[in-house]
Amino acid sequence: ELLSPWNYKDAPAICANTRQHNNLAEHVSRTILQGASVEERALIAERWIWVASSLFEDHKDYNGCMAIILALTRMEISRLAK
């Protein structure tokens, strides 16, 4: 009951955390796609990978790290390599 998704609407902290996670993932995707060339997009993606690693290892911010990983695995980003 407590973990039911229908109970989350009454939990503003969980809703705010989810919005922040989705906003960060969207921002990461957008910054990568705004690169003018393949090389620039690769540099931007490498920087985000470094940021995710730093968030996880140095700051113990698992949610931020996972938001960046989510962005890197989105269809519009993963198709860039093909």
pTM as predicted: 0.84
The CA distance from 69 to 72, in Å, is: 5
Burial class (CB in 10 A: 0-12, 13-18, 19+), 28: buried
Contact 30, 73 (CB under 8 A): no
Say which residue, 46 or 1, is predicted with more confidence: 46
Residue 57, φ and ψ in degrees, nearest 5: -80, -45
The CA distance from 18 to 11, in Å, is: 11
Over residues 4-47, the pLDDT tens digits come to 666 666 778 888 888 999 999 999 999 999 999 999 999 999 99
